[in-house]
């Protein structure tokens, strides 16, 4: 499998437990006990996914996540002992792709890891076999499914795998309104839960990134219905 995953947690018992399950599934594992150690590792080695604890001394997980997101699109699964919605939203707003509350079921964590890797990198493999419609272009905006990349006026826009999935879905169907439920089921590929604020948070981040680069609003809210893409 040769997928290298970075575990960032100052609790060695939790980090070791996650490592055991990941190694048993064939993943390669790197571990860091602090945020700064994690960033140093990522500067030296590539990780395909980061499992990141929020509550760490010194540099906490939210700050680490923001720093990673400044120049990397690696999927991030955030772990926290806090279950409140605002904590989840803060984690997602800083750029995390998914969020789990401690204590967690290791088998569910494995399922989340597989899902994140599939969304982030499986799309690339499929797209390379489907060369007919790789690139979607709207004026200065270019969305390349094969390379999982987005540019505006030739400048790269750094999106998470979830943000890219949402943008590609909406831009592939300009003018069509998608409900939050429909977006979640298309992009996450799992049943929607009415308690999730996840779609709203990711769309807000995606819209901010696109507008800051282009000065143009591509994604519009249709109040009470959902979201649509318009050039």
* CATH assignment at residue 76: 3.40.50.2300
On average, the pLDDT of the chain sits at 86
Among 121, 153, 183, the domain-final residue is 121
Each residue's pLDDT tens digit, 192-215: 776 557 888 899 989 999 998 888
pTM reported for the whole predicted model:
0.63
> Do 140 and 85 share a structural domain?
no
Q: Which of 8, 20, 80 is nearest to 49 (CA)?
A: 8
CATH code of 168's domain = 1.10.10.10
> Do 167 and 62 share a structural domain?
no
> Do 136 and 116 share a structural domain?
no
Residue 172 has pLDDT above 50, yes or no: yes
Among 59, 87, 121, the domain-final residue is 121
> Do 163 and 142 share a structural domain?
yes
Give me the percent of the chain exceeding a pLDDT of 70. Answer: 91
> Do 175 and 142 share a structural domain?
yes
Q: Cα-Cα-Cα-Cα dihedral of 25, 31, 35, 39, to 10°?
A: -90
> Do 117 and 16 share a structural domain?
yes
Encode the chain in three state secondary structure: CCCEEEEECCCHHHHHHHHHHHHHCCCEEEEECCHHHHHHHHHHCCCCEEEEECCCCCCCHHHHHHHHHCCCCCCEEEEECCCCHHHHHHHHHCCCCEEEECCCCHHHHHHHHHHHHHHHHHHHHHHHHCHHHCEEEECCEEEECCCCEEEECCEECCCCHHHHHHHHHHHCCCCCCECHHHHHHHHCCCCCCCCCCHHHHHHHHHHHHHHHHHCCCCEEEECCCEEEECC
> Do 111 and 11 share a structural domain?
yes
Domains in the chain, number: 2
> Do 105 and 160 share a structural domain?
no
Average pLDDT over residues 22-35: 94
119 pLDDT band (50/70/90 cuts)? confident
| Highest mean pLDDT: which range of 86-95, 126-135, 182-191 | 182-191
> Do 203 and 183 share a structural domain?
yes
**Domain range holding 112?**
4-121
């Amino acid at each position: 499998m040769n997928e290298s995953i970075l575990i960032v947690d100052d609790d060695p018992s939790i980090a070791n437990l996650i490592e055991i399950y990941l190694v048993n599934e064939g993943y390669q594992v790197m571990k860091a006990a602090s945020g700064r150690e994690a960033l140093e590792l990522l500067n030296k080695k590539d990780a395909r996914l980061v499992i990141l604890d929020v509550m760490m001394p010194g540099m906490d997980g939210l700050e680490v996540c923001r720093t990673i997101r400044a120049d990397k699109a690696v999927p991030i699964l955030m772990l926290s002992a806090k279950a409140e919605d605002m904590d989840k939203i803060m984690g997602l707003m800083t750029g995390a792709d998914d969020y789990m509350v401690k204590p967690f079921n290791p088998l569910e964590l494995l399922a989340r890891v597989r899902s994140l890797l599939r969304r982030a990198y499986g799309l690339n493999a499929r797209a390379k076999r489907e060369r007919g419609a790789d690139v979607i272009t709207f004026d200065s905006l270019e969305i390349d499914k094969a390379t999982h990349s987005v540019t505006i006026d030739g400048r790269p826009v750094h999106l998470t795998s979830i943000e890219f999935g949402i943008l590609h879905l909406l831009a592939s169907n300009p003018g069509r309104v998608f409900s939050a439920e429909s977006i979640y089921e298309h992009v996450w590929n799992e049943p929607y839960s009415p308690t999730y604020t996840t779609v709203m948070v990711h769309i807000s981040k995606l819209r901010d990134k696109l507008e800051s680069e282009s000065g143009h609003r591509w994604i519009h809210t249709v109040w009470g219905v959902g979201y649509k893409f318009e050039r």
